[in-house]
Amino acid sequence: MEWSWSWLYYEPFSNGIQTARTDDTKQLLFRRVDKNNKIATYVDVTYTNTFEVAVIHEKNCQPKSIMSATVKLNHRTINNVEFVCEDNGQSYLFRTTAKKLSKFKIETAEFSSSEDFSNWPIKELKKDQFVQQHSNFFKNKGNEDVYEWSRD
């Protein structure tokens, strides 16, 4: 999917975090791109109100092939996770969910990438979802940029 990304804050102060909304549901997304390693880390909130972390590593690959990885999410280590080549053969994808986010690290034989989510405005994702779920209330309060919940 193609989304229109913009800097979350004025670029020098943004910590490299960009924001976008999905075209269909207007769901708020954050990402940070590591151009040197061709890695993008995305964070959004699922319909069950948990955080989803998706990591995409741009690299030509055989569709459905697997790159083994180790993931550290918050204070838990998960060995032998599967970083799967997408159907387009141009990138690997890994996804996981968590109720809270503090730190994340993924390591493969080829690269290592980590995020400290204390530098991300993670609470804004859940706040935005709450506003969407109660859009009529916020519209009645005069908020014009309110999107209705449409992920059921």
Q: Flag whether 71 is in a domain.
A: yes
Number of domains composing the chain: 1
CA distance 42 to 149: 21
Q: What is the CATH number of the domain that holds 46?
A: 2.60.40
Asked if residue 77 is part of any domain, the answer here is: yes
Is residue 14 in a domain? yes
Q: Which residue range forms the structural domain that includes residue 67?
A: 6-121
Residue 13 placed within a domain: yes
Looking at the chain, list the stretches that DSSP marks H as alpha helix, in order from N- to C-terminal side: 123-133, 135-140
Residue 132 confidence (pLDDT): 72
Asked if residue 76 is part of any domain, the answer here is yes
Q: What is the pLDDT of residues 101-139, one digit of tens each?
A: 999 999 999 899 999 999 898 998 888 877 776 666 656
Summarised one tens digit per residue, pLDDT across range 26-78 is 788 999 988 888 999 999 998 888 999 999 999 999 999 999 999 999 989 98
Residue 92 lies in a domain: yes
Q: What pTM was computed for the model? A: 0.82
